[in-house]
Structure 1
Amino acid sequence: MHFARLLHLTDSAIPTGAFAYSYGLESSVAFGLVRTGFELRNYLYSFLQQAASLELPFLLSCCHHASLDAGLLAVAEEYDALLLVPALHRASLVQAKNWLRLLESFYPDAHLAELTAWHEHAGRPLHFVPAFGLALTRLGCAAPDIQTMYLHMALRDQISAAIRLGVIGPMEGHRLQHDFYAVFDELLTQHAGRGYQQATRSAFLLDTAQTLHDDIYSKLFQN
């Protein structure tokens, strides 16, 4: 796929709905877990570590099951079971639907509607991470590129949320995003070759903050 098309798919303006969620950052700020720039850096590193240890293995497994074989059933079931926070579970389903609807309009010859139909027929929920990996594999992307794109989008959305929450300013935020690209190689190398059966959760305090998001009196984000 042409490089410019990949840049388009990772553009923050792509309407998948990710802008509506902070994935634990807002509640972490509200409950005093993130108060300084140093704590924000620690938070972002933990967030990326969890994204790498949990999502990257599922992305790799989806790349291996792009033909929608029986092995994909186990991948879909396991990912659904690992989404422990109800709000994140709902958000994942919504974003998967938006992502596929968008890509179907861009690439009708890829028949991406088959992904939704297959999961519905199998009685398995289609979440954003599997939908992301399956769709991009069908479009000819290699697994390392898909994993890198996902980490970029995860970091980008957290930086955007931090800016909108007023934790940091735009210039500081983008400088921070630039700095964190230095850890991408480390995370990608560490989890290279790991399938979904080796996926792990590594940031339990972040999970707790996500769960407590509904207790915030006044919220900017859904989660």
Structure 2
Amino acid sequence: MKFARLLHLVDSSIPTGSFAYSYGLESSITFGLIKDRLGLRHYLYSYLQQVVGMEIPFLTSCYTLELPDLNPTLRIMAEEYDAMMLVPTIRKASVVQGKNWLKLLASLYPASGMQEIRRWFEEQELPTHFVLVFALCLKRVEFTLADLQTMYLHMALRDQVSAAIRLGFIGPMEGHKLQHDFYSIFENLLQNQTAREYTQATRSAFMLDTAQVLQEDIYSKLFQN
């Protein structure tokens, strides 16, 4: 039953806003950084590597905080994550999704203290980045760290494949087969990474950051960044 609830929370229809963004995929295709199907596979692997190297350590560190204290470590963590968001539009997207996530979880779990998390970020005048509140909220409703790490990686892959389909770069059948194929490397990607803390977080795919910046130069856009 608990795992079914987690599947619901990461369903694509959940209104956090993730499907409004391409996170650089649209500009990568538009400006020729991704030219063919093989290029898309390479792009997705690099994208997931960066998620594992950057977001997963922050997710892990947030989860292992002793709640409900919301201790000073969280402030340092939130400031460092914000500083590592190199692209302004990606930073904005992360904050918007974080606010939507907090609102959603507060409505689904009214007795779990989600409003305390929201108030803490407001009082500290810190941005509610999605990866941070994703971990803090789901820790409160007792999902496991391993499930959170896997589901976060799943959402990252799903959103990129969906964007590629909606851009017409690949068809729905091909896209879902590609997504299915990539699940086979999740264990490899997460191996030796699941215990890393936020102080070990790294950005590893700077071409992706460049592509995200180029999103603003597209004349006609299907997505936000």
TM-score by length of 2: 0.97
1:21-63 Cα distance to aligned partner (Å, 9 max, x none): 0000000000001111000000000000000000000000000
Is 1:110 the equivalent of 2:116? no
How much does 1:10 deviate?
Answer: 1.2
- Whole-angstrom CA distance in 1 between matches of 2:159 and 2:135: 18
Q: Residue in 2 aligned with 1:37?
A: 37
How much does 1:141 deviate?
Answer: 1.1
1:147-201 Cα distance to aligned partner (Å, 9 max, x none): 1110000000001000000010000000000000011101111312100000000
Contact 2:50 2:204 in 1 (8 A): yes
Worse-superposed segment, 182-191 or 168-177: 182-191
Q: Residue in 2 aligned with 1:14?
A: 14
Instruction: Give the residue type in structure 1 aligned to 2:195.
Output: G
1:112-158 Cα distance to aligned partner (Å, 9 max, x none): 01111101111221100001010011110111111111000000000
Q: Residue in 2 aligned with 1:69?
A: 71
Q: Residue in 2 aligned with 1:26?
A: 26
Worse-superposed segment, 120-129 or 44-53: 120-129
Is 1:49 the equivalent of 2:12? no
Q: Residue in 2 aligned with 1:200?
A: 202
Gap runs ≥5 in structure 2: none
- Whole-angstrom CA distance in 2 between matches of 1:5 and 1:99: 15
| Mapping for residues 44-193 of structure 1, pairs under 5 Å | 44-65=44-65, 66-67=67-68, 68-193=70-195
- Whole-angstrom CA distance in 2 between matches of 1:192 and 1:136: 17
Contact 2:149 2:194 in 1 (8 A): no
Gap runs ≥5 in structure 1: none
- Whole-angstrom CA distance in 1 between matches of 2:3 and 2:134: 17
After TM superposition, what 4+ stretches of structure 1 lie above 4 angstroms from structure 2?
none
TM-score by length of 1: 0.98
How much does 1:111 deviate?
Answer: 1.4
SS at match of 1:109: coil
- Whole-angstrom CA distance in 1 between matches of 2:203 and 2:129: 17
1:49-86 Cα distance to aligned partner (Å, 9 max, x none): 00000000000000012431111111100100000100
- Whole-angstrom CA distance in 2 between matches of 1:192 and 1:221: 31
Worse-superposed segment, 205-214 or 119-128: 119-128
**Alignment RMSD (CA, Å):** 0.9
- Whole-angstrom CA distance in 1 between matches of 2:10 and 2:60: 18
- Whole-angstrom CA distance in 2 between matches of 1:211 and 1:190: 31
Number of paired residues?
223
- Whole-angstrom CA distance in 1 between matches of 2:192 and 2:50: 12
